[in-house]
Amino acid sequence: MIQPHIAVVDDDAFQRRVLEEYLSRQGYRVSGAESGAQLRALLARRDPVDLILLDVQMPGEDGFAVARFLRERGNVAIIMVTAASDTVDRVVGLETGADDYVVKPYEPRELVARIKSVLRRSGRNGATPAAAGRLRFGRCILDLDARRLTTLDGDAIALAASEFALLKVFAQHPNRVLSRDRLLDLTSGREMEPFDRSIDLRITRIRRKIEVDPSKPEVIRTVRGAGYMYAPDGGA
């Protein structure tokens, strides 16, 4: 099994080294970066990164700006690291395309569990994925084998690991209404917290990519008071 490669991005050198050492002991390959510029240099090497632990509060270019840059250029998995009291940070992080977040101070075992969950959802956990196929999602094609979203003309569309996980769940449950609680459990393995908007944010991002008219979704439909439903024939 290939060891997943994790990048730890934090301007605090001590915290970064502690986390690098801990994750290395857990069996991951780990690289550190103190800024977005160092992360870009790391990503330019011929050593793909599978997941990025991205601190929000960094001087100069903050974690949100770095996350937006990453989402515009690829589908690497992102976990944002936020302060305990900053609910707004978590929401903004998810809106910019993060797959999950952890709150400081965090338990190392919880962090590893979150990492494993995101890597599993993104298909970057070193295991060989089972064959699945290609499915039409509106104006796009989802390749479940390659974990890749493209336009009908074959142009690649950046897809977060959390977005892929959600599309995969919909593909497995066509024409079935799935509640937000059920979707969160199937994609993240955790229960919904009060005022948790993560599923709605992912749906919004996905609709912008797959729907002909995101303001009038036909592929992933809202079922009022119940949840969401994937309609395979929508937008076809």
**pLDDT for residue 11:** 92
Exposure b/e, 34-48, CB count within 10 A at least 16 = b:
bbbeebeebbeeeee
Checking DSSP bridges between strand 51-55 and strand 177-178, what pairing results, if any?
A: unpaired
**pLDDT for residue 19:** 92
* Whether CATH 3.30.470.20 fits 5-122: no
Strand-pairing partners, residue 53, are 8, 79
Question: At CA 161, angle to CA 155 and CA 166, rounded to 5?
Answer: 95
The SS3 call for residue 171 is helix
| Three-state SS annotation for 190-235 | CCCCCCCCHHHHHHHHHHHHHCCCCCCCCCEEEECCCEEEECCCCC
Please give the class, per CATH, of domain 134-230. mainly alpha
Q: For residue 4, give the nearest of 25, 30, 42, 22 by alpha carbon.
A: 30
**pLDDT for residue 188:** 72
CA dist 17 and 23 (Å) reads: 10
**Letter for the amino acid at 132?**
A
Checking DSSP bridges between strand 156-157 and strand 220-223, what pairing results, if any?
A: unpaired
**Global model pTM greater than 0.75:** no
Domain boundary assignment for the chain: 5-122, 134-230
**pLDDT for residue 2:** 61
**pLDDT for residue 128:** 38
Q: Which residue has the tokens 């479940």?
A: 144
- Is the Cβ–Cβ distance between 115 and 122 less than 8 Å? no
pLDDT tens track of the chain, all 236 residues?
467 899 999 999 999 999 999 999 998 999 999 999 999 998 888 678 889 999 988 888 888 889 888 877 666 889 988 876 666 666 666 677 788 888 888 888 889 998 988 888 766 555 433 335 788 899 999 998 888 999 988 899 998 888 998 999 998 888 888 888 888 888 876 555 545 678 899 999 999 999 999 999 999 999 988 899 998 876 55
